[in-house]
Structure 1
Amino acid sequence: MVSSSFLAPFLFMTLLLPAISNSQTVTKQEEKQTLLRLRSDWGNPQALSSWNSTTSDYCSWIGIVCTNGFVAEISLRRQNLNKPIPAAICDLQNLTRLDLYYNNLPGVFPTVLYNCSKLQFLELSENLFVGKLPADINLLSPRLAYLGLSGNNFTGHIPSSIGQLPAIKNLQLDNNLFDGSYPAELGNLSKVEYLTLAYNPFAAARIPPEFGNMTSLKFLWMSQASVVGKIPENLANLTELELFDLSMNSVTGRIPGWVWKLEKLRNLYLYANKLCCEINGTIGALRLEEIDVSMNLLTGSMPEDLGKLRNLSLLFLYNNQLSGDIPSSIGLLPMLEIVWLRNNSLTGVLPPELGKHSTLTYLDVSSNKHVGKLPEGLCSHKALTALVVSQNNFSGLIPASLANCYTLESVQLDRNDFSGAFPTTTWSAVNLTSVTLYDNAFSGTLPGKLPQNLLNIEIQNNRFYGSIPLLPSNLVIFKASNNSLSGKIPNKYARNSLLEIMLLDENQISGTIPSEISSLKFLTVLNLSSNQLIGEIPSSIVSLPSLTTLDLSKNQLSGTIPQQLGNIAFTFLNLSVNQLSGEIPMWLQNHEYERSFLSNPGLCSSPNFAAVLHHCKDTMDGSDKLLRRLIILSVFLGGFALLSIAAFTIQKVKEYRQREKITDSELGAPKLTTFYAIDFTEQEIARGLTEDNIIGSGGSGKVYRISLGNQVEEIVAVKKIWNSRKLDAQLEKEFQAEVEILGSVRHANIVKLLCCISSSGSKLLVYEYMENESLHRWLHGQEMMVSGSSPLDWSRRLNIAIGAARGLCYMHHGCSPPIVHRDIKSSNILLDSEFRPKIADFGLARMLVKTGEPESVSAVAGSFGYMAPECGYLRKINEKVDVFSFGVVLLELTTGRRANDMGEHGGLAKWAWQQFQEDGGLIYVIDEVVQVPAYLYTVEVVLKLGLMCTGPSPSSRPSMKEVLQVLTWCDRRHRTSITANNELEIA
């Protein structure tokens, strides 16, 4: 018999079990209701459609991870959530992980999360948060180990209380708008392993010595964080560091010796600072994989200990003042892939073993003082893609290994003392895009067929002989001046040839100029002077729509000059020293071409053209009659054109008036989508859409300046897409593109889209107002032309360039996926009251699906004068089209010229390249406003950077990250020159 004392506990448990089971059921039901409430508070987004009451198991809902049947994790990355985080989220009492990366969450930092007491992981990066971080941010869960706040719009100081989060291991604050300071209290985070403060406009400050207390730190990223002063010695305590990045700051002094002794260091990035002096001490950081200390003021020789770094794959020391020989031991490194040492004063021969022991892919030692032959094994592993050794004192023959290096894409051997036959097999590299061999003593012949991908060939001032090869259709530049080429000019060209520059002067070319040359529709520069050409100038040459430079001098050409040649607006024309005869075309008889026809005894002109002594007396009457007929015909055609334009204008005015009859009441129920906190309504915006408030108009609509109060901060700019009953499909596409991109992008140098108002009859984009309008206005506006002065001195122009570059750099390298703007121009760079720049007008922008993956486009997009050449012939483009356009903006800033005022068929980029190629010196093209002696060096550097950005080949252009590096270096150099100049004046 069982005793009652034994049964009592059993009976108690039996009675208790249903109660426990019922309690758990209620708890799970409450969690489900909490999740449904979250969906409702977030506006029932389509992404959360699986969150519904009909599904019993909420652990299977999208983004939900359960532990023991209760919600432990919520992960809703890229779900387009656009409303604040609901307070109810902390009712999920077991929530340990919340990941809301890359949404459109608005407002200030969500302090409602203070109630999530078990939270260990919080990811809020890439959202729309604004304002300051709360001073009591330490009230977040004491268990919090991960806090991601990157890519938002947080401002002000980083609160010192953040150093009171005891469990933090990963703290990401990069790519915000913090303009205060970073606190020394961060040093209290003894467990932190990953700290990012990069890309914030902090107030200039030194690194607090207390940072040396973060002894667990493995990853320190403070690129472009306004760091000044020396690297603190206390950081020597960070013995766990694997990545140390202080790039693009104003760090001074030496690189401390302890940096080179961090045993676990893999990546060292100190580029674009003011670091000086020699690299001293023994290098004990034997795990180093990447070293970039370029663009500093380093002197002395390269340390021998670099040869001990068996893991080193990337070595960037370019743009310093290094001297001496490259240590031969570097050639023995087994992992070395990329070496950039350009723009130093390095001497001696290259390491003889270089390339034999590693898969070397990129070598750039240009602009140094190297001598001797190139190493034999540079392409031993068939991986070399770029060989850049320009402007040294190399000599001898090209190594045999390079002859069969089929991986080559770029070969730049110019301005050396190389001799002997250039290997014909080198031309067989299928991916070869650029070959520059000029100013050497190369000999040999060119192959009959060149690689189709070639974009640039520069072999001038050598000893090449033989016939001219058939030019590939993608070739843009062909310079072969001053060689011994012979035979005839090819008369076959690809129908879609992209050739822009052809220089064949000072050779032994014979025969006639083929009429088929007219198929080169993009040709801007043609120089065939100092050859043995005969026959007439083909009349078909006048059909070259882009031709601006023509030099046929010092040949044996005969016959008359085609009359239509006078219709071309030449920037340079030379037909001297030939056997031409007849009358010079009337439109060429002006002072601009006074020296264009010398030493042609058979030529004659009117008495008013003093450049030619022989006057066509016998034919003057006929010429006058012809001229009068041409004038009459021109007047008739002009009148007809004016009538056509008037009729077209009247029709468009009627259509416009019809559109404007649609009143606000016809807009239907407008949909307001906000991206920032706003304190105005749709009605206030609608009332401001009056003719008096119009400040601009374009192909897609009007722009209004609407004042919502008495303060400057209460002014907005409203872009109104043309108001019609059926919105044009292209405008609808542009509108959606602008909303999608600006709604998700947040950066100090990208204009803020405050909200959009959309209905069936109207599309409105409401932006922050930029008081100083566009850069174009201040460079080229009518008031500037009238006053003859500009408030844009070089300091201000450089700051504008840097700010715009930062915005583009963020789009290309800081967004996922990257964004290509596709319409960068000076009128799309807006300026606030302090002339701080912001990129605007994203109607043509596109997001790339994957990083670095070109995008297929269906039509040419962009603005004349700013479009990269590949936009006209490639269906797939990448971010390098923006680099080209930005290069044109740099040329505008340095020359003061418009992007498209260099002739009807030319652009600023082509003109600037021509000036550089013809003269080498650029002082004469620099804007007079910035021709201040103390500024000229950095102005010329930026001008040359603009030329690099507008290179014909996308692969030859720098990335925006590299562009920004150069500009920030120029800024530091410029500020240094101003300080020195002021001190000199005081003295």
Structure 2
Amino acid sequence: MAVYNILILFLLLLFFSLSTAQPSADEQKLLLTIKQDWDNPDPLSSWSSTGNWTGVICSNTGQVTGLSLPSLHIARPIPASVCSLKNLKYLDLSYNNLTGDFPTVLYGCSALEYLDLSNNQLSGRLPDGIDMLSSGMQHLNLSSNAFVGDVPSAIGRFSKLKSLVLDTNNFNGNYPGAAIGGLVELETLTLAYNPFKPGPVPKEFGNLTKLTYLWLSRMNITGTIPDDLSSLTELTLLDLSQNKMQGQIPEWVLKLKKLEILYLFASNFSGEIGPNITALNLQELDLSMNKLSGSIPEDIANLKKLRLLFLYYNQLTGPIPAGVGVMPNLTDIRLFDNKLFGPLPSELGKHSELGNFEVSNNNLSGELPDTLCFNKKLYDIVVFNNNFSGVFPANLGDCDTLNNIMAYNNHFTGDFPKKIWSFAMLTNIMIGDNNFTGTLPSEVSFNISRIEMGNNRFSGALPLAAVGLKSFTAENNQLSGELPDDMSRLNNLTELNLAGNRLSGSIPPSIQSLTRLTSLNLSSNQISGEIPAALGLIGLNMLDLSDNELTGDIPQEFNNLHLNVLNLSSNQLSGEVPGSLQNGAYDRSFLSNHGLCATVNMNLNLPACPYEGHNKLSMSLIIVFSVLAGVVFIGAVAIWLLILRHQKRRQDLTVWKMTPFRTLDFSECDVLGNLREENVIGSGGSGKVYRIHIGGKGSAGKVVAVKRLWRTPAKSDAKSDKEFDAEVRILGEARHNNIVNLLCCISSDDAKLLVYEYMENGSLDRWLHPRDGAPAPLQWPTRLCIAIDAARGLSYMHHECAQPIMHRDVKSSNILLDPGFRAKIADFGLARILVKSGEPESVSAIGGTFGYLAPEYGCKAKVNEKVDVYAFGVVLLELTTGRVANDGGADWCLAEWAWRRYKALGELHDVVDESIQDRAAFLEDAVAVFLLGVICTGDDPASRPTMKEVLEQLVQYDRTSSVAAACRDDSGGAPSFSKGKKDGKGKSSSAGTMAGKVWGAGAGGGDEESGSFVAHPV
């Protein structure tokens, strides 16, 4: 395993530090010269004849044999005088701020055997004469820099080399497979995370028979796994993940006797997992996100040391082998999104310290084993979208390690274990769409933030206190009683849905304490009394009180609300509707309230309110007769004008052309008649946006968004037409769940309209950077799902369209959110079609928004789709930090700030947005996505990942079915979330995985006790 390599390095360091002798007088002089030539850096201030010689390793005779100077923030170039130390064998300058080209001054260090320059800012090409380094070189680590071009073939001349670590750079040329294959002493080889030119695994690597560690992920490998590698019988780690490979996984791979870690995820492998698995030392097996079919082999149960089993996102069928239930070390099982069926192994969890269990989105059936939490380590149960039945195991009521329960959409029956509601570590309970019974306690655990229990048969009263609860959806149960008189102990709620229960009593005035509430649904209950004025003082954007027994007026305080959804139908309300609600957008909001009336808008399906004094005759007959003649005259003139107006309107409508892109149930008249100022919801550089309610054929009608392009002077008409045509062409042809739906376009000679589906939660920018009347901050699980949704839309544009689309104006204000906070990409006015001819054709012309503009805009005549990757990277930085795109001061934008913050080293936890509640629980995941944003905003377009790769990373980082399933293309409704998965020590694994995978060797450490491999240290 990786620990084996760490042990080798430890022994090397131990060898060099056996003696505690001080440098000899002559060596001290040389060291002081080096310090002076290095411009006397502060970390070396202790170097003096009377001080300590920090980082200096000496032999017993006082000869300097090593300099270990990592993480000292040294930025000055390495002085040539370093090589005056003629016995220098070991030099470690990792995790500093070294810049510039590869330091050829080290050619003079003739005794050097160990060189580590990893995690600096070195760039440029590796010199062709790199073999001028000492011929005795045994360890060369240049990972996590910014080297480009080819790996020179001269690297193959280090005949004694045991460790070659080149991962996580920007190498975009070739690597010398034959030359590296000649380094027969190699024990460690890492080339991962470089955008090399596509090609197969060199067959010559089969000559490296002493190799124990081979990391080749994400380097554009094509073809199959060559059988030549079957000679690598000493391998403890094999990682070929995230490549462009194909074919089956050779049987010999799973027969390597010493193999401990096998990562082949997201690499397009197909076929079945072969039988006769004899890699008995295997501890981590990740074959997820491929195209594997067939069943899980029974032989997998022979892997007694296996701790991590990841087979998710494949096409596996059949049952889970019974032997999996008795594997003694299995702590993390992730088999979600396959086609597995049958019952679970009967003793699952009894023979190992099972912590994470995810089998959602399969066809599994039967009951959950009562042994899942036998060893009191279980923290995740994710089994939704299956056919499980029976009662929830009662002993789960004693499993107080649980953090996340996602069991919705099954056939569970019986009482839900009541003790679970009090678990201190539990954050999410999602058990909707079952047949659970039981009652809720009067107080729910302070850590629970989400409860989704709709469509069950729970009864009894509501909790009186749930201080951490943010989302509570319990629709269509049998809950009864009244809402709590004191709702202040529920004041963190942002969503409350109790529709379709048996609640009675009135809505308490204390509901005004729910200041973060944005969505309230109490429909189809037996609630009576008046609507409290306090509801008008909360920042609601969705309110449904329909089908109750409410009486009295609608409070005038409702004039303060800006509701996207309002339904007060089927009550006993009376009086005049508040003025701001007398809007066509709410024409279905007041049905079956026979006492309501309106004065301003007669399109609300309500009668007109009587005027004061309406029934009093105060005019004398004399006055009536004296003006009668005038009235008749005026009436005749009015009729004549109306006829003329009607004729003109009919003429005006004939000049409008409507082009539908979907089946519509409205006409252009429905749209044009509502283009009024009171319906304006936004205004930008290209036009105004209106929110329009259209009756249509359905009973409730629909709400659409209409973008009206600005009228421009004649000299600009061509540009306006071009932008309009671009958006119409692209959106009209695009069909994807994460791209905004264009319904039709309407145009005339002097106006152009685009009619979209209406996105009720507005733009991501509105939620991340709130202004007056701000909504509650987005929490981390929602932010992650938005990022995945938006990445799906952009990945579709770049990689799946017949003609790839480059958006060119990706930003948080162009990512729109529906009622369930599902994200869609919008505003394609600057988009361009990329003509395919082998590779996408670059396009020119600067577009976009300051803060999101890639640096090549200013220095290249043409740009490609990597400008979208850069801009999306800025969005990721916004999501994680809460800062705006140009929030870095006068001299640099957010992307530059993030890069400097990363290169400053140290902990990155303080970059995460402090407004995220439960911030500590999601910290590692958020840091992982922050680092991905840094990668996406790299200066070199070629070094940025593709949007497809970004999407794969976002899904991979969390590695949880809760986010992955909520953010699938085919999922519907509001997203469901859980925290990042935790290992046995409570540490989130996703950020650690990201750090190791992206930032390379030395970026993190393997956690021997955890259920996941954290990094690739060398």
Give the TM interval when normalised to the shorter protein.
0.5 to 0.7
**Aligned mate of 1:135, from 111, 128, 140:** 128
CA distance in 2, matches of 1:397, 1:408: 18
Equivalent position to 2:811, from 776, 781, 784: 776
Correspondence for 2:405 among 403, 411, 425: 411
Per-residue Cα deviation, 1:200-256 (whole angstroms, up to 9, x for no partner) = 111111111001111111011112111111111101011000000111111111001
Q: Partner amino acid for 2:152? A: P
> 2:331 aligned with 1:337, yes or no?
yes
Partner of 2:897: 841
State the distance in 1 between where 2:486 and 2:812 align.
Answer: 46
Alpha-carbon deviation of 1:806?
8.2
For 1:93, which of 83, 86, 89 is the aligned residue?
86
Does the residue aligned with 2:34 lie in a helix, a strand or coil?
A: helix
Distance 1:489 1:613, change over 3 A: same
In structure 2, the partner of 1:125 is: 118
Match of 1:289 in 2: 283
1:537, CA displacement in angstroms?
0.2
Cα displacement string for residues 516-548 of structure 1 (whole angstroms, at most 9, x for unaligned residues):
111111111000000000000000111112x10
| CA distance in 2: counterparts of 1:310 and 1:203, whole angstroms | 39
CA distance in 2, matches of 1:274, 1:785: 31
Matches of 1:142 and 1:888 in 2, distance apart? Answer: 40
CA-CA distance at 1:884 after TM superposition: 8.4
CA distance in 2, matches of 1:154, 1:402: 53
Q: Percent identity?
A: 41
Matched, 1:200 2:179: no
Equivalent residues of 2:810, 2:872 under 8 A apart: no
Given the superposition, is the C-alpha separation of residues 955 and 246 from structure 1 closer, same or farther in structure 2, using an over 3 Å criterion?
A: closer
* Aligned counterpart in structure 2 of residue 32 of structure 1, from 4, 28, 34: 28
In structure 2, the partner of 1:305 is 299
Match of 1:513 among 493, 500, 507: 507
- Cα gap change, 1:959/1:787 in structure 2, threshold over 3 Å: closer, same or farther? closer
1:633-652 deviation line (CA, Å, top 9, x unaligned): xxxxxxxxxxxxxxxxxxxx
**2:119 matches 1:114:** no
Say whether the 8 Å CA contact 2:113–2:136 is kept in structure 1.
yes
Amino acid across the alignment from 1:80: H
Contact 2:121–2:145 (CA under 8 A) maintained in structure 1: yes
What are the Cα deviations for residues 678-705 of structure 1, in whole angstroms up to 9, with x where unaligned? xxxxxxxxxxxxxxxxxxxxxxxxxxxx
Does the CA contact (< 8 Å) of 2:369 and 2:393 recur in 1?
yes
Deviation at 1:281, TM superposition (A): 3.3
SS in 1 for 2:151: coil
Which secondary structure does the structure 2 equivalent of 1:189 belong to? coil
Cα 1:774–1:611, aligned 2, differ >3 Å: closer, same or farther? closer
Distance 2:467 2:171 in 1: 50
Counterpart of 1:931 in structure 2 is: none
CA separation in 1, counterparts of 2:931 and 2:560? 32
Distance 1:353 1:61, change over 3 A: closer
1:147 aligns with 2:140: yes
Instruction: Tell me whether 1:84 sits opposite 2:129 in the alignment.
Output: no
Q: 1:313–1:335: 8 Å Cα contact kept in structure 2?
A: yes
Give distance in 1, aligned partners of 2:996 and 2:361.
19
SS at match of 1:486: strand
Structure 1 pair 250/574, CA: closer, same or farther in 2 (3 Å)?
Answer: same
Q: Which moved more, 1:590-599 or 1:37-46?
A: 37-46
AA of the residue aligned to 1:776: K
CA 126–808 in structure 1, closer or farther in 2 if over 3 Å, else same? farther
Q: How far apart, CA to CA, are the structure 1 residues paired with 2:474 and 2:338?
A: 29
Within 5 Å, give how 1:826-837 maps onto structure 2.
none
What is the correspondence of 1:693-704 to structure 2 with a 5 Å cutoff?
none
| SS state at 1:84 partner | coil
| Cα 1:955/1:340, change in 2 over 3 Å | closer
2-side partners of 1:586 and 1:390: how far apart? 45
Q: Does 1:554 align with 2:547?
A: yes
**Residue in structure 2 matched with residue 237 of structure 1 by the alignment:** 231
What is the match of residue 710 of structure 2?
none
Q: Is the partner of 1:131 in helix, strand or coil?
A: strand
Counterpart secondary structure, 1:618: coil
User: Does the aligned pair in 2 maintain the 1:373–1:394 contact within 8 Å?
Assistant: yes
Measure the CA separation in 1 of the matches of 2:989 and 2:82: 46
Distance 2:25 2:994 in 1: 57
| Aligned partner of 1:498 among 492, 501, 523 | 492
Q: Are the aligned partners of 1:779 and 1:790 in contact in 2 as well (CA < 8 Å)?
A: no
Give the distance between the partners of 1:620 and 1:245, measured in 2 at CA.
86
Post-superposition Cα deviations, 1:71-108, rounded to whole Å, max 9, x if no partner, equal 11111111121111111111111111111111112221
Residue aligning to 1:920? none
Q: Give the Cα–Cα distance (whole angstroms) in 2 for the partners of residues 887 and 133 of structure 1.
A: 25
Is 2:322 the counterpart of 1:328?
A: yes
Q: For residues 450-465 of structure 1, what are the structure 2 equivalents within 5 Å?
A: 450-465=444-459
1:878 alignment counterpart: 923
Query: Residue type matched to 1:263 in 2?
Result: K
Q: Indicate yes or no: 2:536 matched with 1:542.
A: yes
**Per-residue CA distance 1:719-751 (angstroms, 9 max, x = gap):** xxxxxxxxxxxxxxxxxxxxxxxxxxxxxxxxx
What's the secondary structure of 1:878's corresponding residue? helix
Q: What aligned pairs does 1:407-806 form with structure 2 within 5 A after superposition?
A: 407-494=401-488, 497-545=491-539, 547-606=540-599, 608-619=601-612, 775-776=810-811, 779=814, 788-791=829-832
| Alpha-carbon shift at residue 953 of structure 1 (Å) | 5.5
Q: Deviations over 1:453-499 (max 9, x none)?
A: 00100000000000001242221110000000000111323468321
Is the CA contact (8 Å cut-off) linking 2:244 and 2:268 kept in structure 1?
A: yes
Which residue in the other structure is 1:222 paired with? Answer: 216
2:465/2:489 contact within 8 Å kept: no
> Compared with structure 1, are the counterparts of its residues 530 and 356 closer, same or farther at alpha carbon in structure 2 (3 Å cutoff)?
same
- Residue 357 (structure 1) aligns with: 351
Query: In structure 2, what is the Cα distance between the partners aligned to 1:144 and 1:847?
Result: 28
CA contact (8 A) 2:810 2:868 kept: no
Change (3 A) 1:530 1:369: same
CA contact (8 A) 1:820 1:882 kept: no
Distance 1:471 1:276 in 2: 51
2:39 paired with 1:43: yes
Query: In 2 relative to 1, CA 850–397 (structure 1 residues): closer, same or farther, beyond 3 Å?
Result: farther
- For 2:70, give the aligned amino acid: R
Cα 1:544–1:847, aligned 2, differ >3 Å: closer, same or farther?
farther
Distance verdict in 2 for CA 1:466–1:335, change over 3 Å: same
Q: Deviations over 1:388-439 (max 9, x none)?
A: 0000000011112212111111011100000111110122221010000100
Q: TM-score, normalised by structure 1?
A: 0.67
Higher relative contact order (CA 8 A, sep 6+): 2
- Paired with 1:50 and 1:964, the residues of 2 have a C-alpha distance of 33
Task: Give distance in 2, aligned partners of 1:195 and 1:946.
Answer: 46
Specify whether residues 271 and 459 from structure 1 end up closer, same or farther in structure 2 by C-alpha distance, changes over 3 A only. same
Q: Cα 1:884–1:241, aligned 2, differ >3 Å: closer, same or farther?
A: closer
Q: Which residue of 2 aligns with 1:822?
A: 881
Change (3 A) 1:939 1:442: closer
Q: Distance in 1 between matches of 2:347 and 2:865?
A: 43
Does the C-alpha gap of structure 1 residues 963 and 445 become closer, same or farther in structure 2, counting only changes over 3 Å? Answer: farther
CA distance in 1, matches of 2:973, 2:870: 16
Q: Report the CA distance shift for 1:125/1:876 in structure 2 as closer, same or farther (over 3 A).
A: same
Given residue 822 of structure 1, which amino acid in structure 2 is its aligned partner?
T
The answer (yes or no) to whether the contact 1:470–1:490 under 8 Å persists in 2 is: yes
Amino acid at match of 1:878: L
Which residue type is aligned with residue 35 of structure 2? R
- Local SS of the residue matching 1:445: coil
Question: Deviation of residue 65 (structure 1)?
Answer: 3.1
Indicate which of 170, 178, 182 corresponds to 2:171: 178
Which residue in 2 is equivalent to 1:635?
none
Equivalent residue letter for 1:149: L
